[in-house]
Amino acid sequence: MSAQATEEKSMLDSVKWLVAIALLIGGIVGFNHFSEQPTYLRTLMVLGGLVLAIAVVMTTAKGKSLWQFIKESRTELRKVIWPTSNETVRTTIAVLFMVILLGLFLWGFDSLVVWVVDPIIG
Q: Are residues 64 and 23 located together in one domain of the fold?
A: yes
Distance CA 20, CA 55 (A): 8
Distance CA 61, CA 67 (A): 10
Cα–chain center distance at 32: 27
Q: Are residues 94 and 61 located together in one domain of the fold?
A: no
Q: pTM for the whole thing?
A: 0.57
Q: Are residues 59 and 47 located together in one domain of the fold?
A: yes
Range of the domain at 92: 82-122
Q: Are residues 40 and 88 located together in one domain of the fold?
A: no
| 64 SS3 class | helix
Q: At a CB cut-off of 8 Å and minimum separation 6, what does 48 contact?
A: 27
Q: Are residues 7 and 62 located together in one domain of the fold?
A: yes
Specify the higher pLDDT residue, 74 or 118: 74
Task: Summarize pLDDT for 41-66 with one digit per residue, the tens.
Answer: 999 999 999 999 999 999 999 999 99
What are the DSSP calls for 23-67, one per residue?
Answer: HHHHHHHHHHHTTTS-HHHHHHHHHHHHHHHHHHHTTSHHHHHHH
Q: Are residues 66 and 7 located together in one domain of the fold?
A: yes
